[in-house]
Amino acid sequence: MKSSGRLGRNVALASIFISAALAAVKIAVGLKANSTAVVSDGIESATDVLASSLVLFGLMMAAKPPDAEHPYGHGRLETLSGMAVGIILAVTGSLIAFESLRHALYRHVPPATFAIWPVLLSIGIKGSLFFTKRHLGREMRSTSLLADAWNDGMDTLSGFVALIGVSLEAFEPAHFGIADETGGFLVGIIVIIVGIRIVRDTTFQLMDTMPDRVLLDQLRKVAMTVPGSLGVEKLYARKTGLQYHVDLHLEVDPELTVAESHEIATEVRGKIRGELSWVADVLVHVEPHGLATIDSRHGKS
**Cα–Cα dist 153/148, whole Å:** 9
Residue 297: pLDDT band with limits 50, 70, 90: very low
Domain, as residue range, for 221: 213-297
Asked if 108 and 182 sit in the same domain, the reply is yes
Asked if 169 and 200 sit in the same domain, the reply is yes
| pLDDT higher at 49 or 29 | 29
CA dist 122 to 37, 130, 156, Å? 13, 12, 7
**Cα dihedral 200, 204, 210, 211 in deg (nearest 10):** 40
CATH of residue 187: 1.20.1510.10
Of the residues 169, 191, 206, the one at which a domain ends: 206
Of the residues 153, 178, 206, the one at which a domain ends: 206
Residue 301: pLDDT band with limits 50, 70, 90: very low
| 231-240: strand order across its sheet | 231-240, 243-252, 279-288
What is the structure's pLDDT at 3?
Answer: 58
Per-residue pLDDT for 295 more than 70?
A: no
For the chain, what percent of residues have pLDDT higher than 70?
93
| DSSP secondary structure letter of residue 252 | E
Of the residues 184, 206, 228, the one at which a domain ends: 206
Asked if 44 and 151 sit in the same domain, the reply is yes
Q: Are 87 and 191 in contact (CB under 8 A)?
A: no
| pLDDT higher at 3 or 111 | 111
Asked if 85 and 101 sit in the same domain, the reply is yes
Q: Are 99 and 40 in contact (CB under 8 A)?
A: yes
| pLDDT higher at 32 or 151 | 32
Per-residue pLDDT for 216 more than 80?
A: yes
Asked if 231 and 200 sit in the same domain, the reply is no
Look at 44-48, 130-134, 156-160, 285-289 and tell me which has the smallest mean pLDDT: 44-48
For the chain, what percent of residues have pLDDT higher than 90?
18
Asked if 193 and 229 sit in the same domain, the reply is no
pTM beyond 0.85, yes or no: no
CA dist 67 to 18, 71, 155, 282, Å? 35, 5, 38, 17
Per-residue pLDDT for 170 more than 90?
A: no
CATH of residue 218: 3.30.70.1350
| pLDDT higher at 188 or 66 | 188
Asked if 18 and 156 sit in the same domain, the reply is yes
> Is 112 buried (19+), middle (13-18) or exposed (0-12) by CB count in 10 A?
middle
**Strands 231-240 vs 279-288: parallel, antiparallel or unpaired:** unpaired
Q: pLDDT of 77-102, one tens digit each?
A: 777 887 888 888 888 888 888 888 88
Round the average pLDDT of the chain to a whole number and report it: 82
Asked if 160 and 251 sit in the same domain, the reply is no
Per-residue pLDDT for 147 more than 90?
A: no
Asked if 278 and 131 sit in the same domain, the reply is no
Asked if 184 and 229 sit in the same domain, the reply is no
Residue 4: pLDDT band with limits 50, 70, 90: low
Per-residue pLDDT for 294 more than 50?
A: no
Question: Terminus-to-terminus CA distance in the chain, angstroms?
Answer: 39
Number of domains in the chain: 2
Asked if 73 and 218 sit in the same domain, the reply is no
Asked if 111 and 243 sit in the same domain, the reply is no
Q: pLDDT of 227-271, one tens digit each?
A: 999 999 889 998 877 778 899 999 999 999 999 999 999 999 999
What is the structure's pLDDT at 252?
Answer: 93
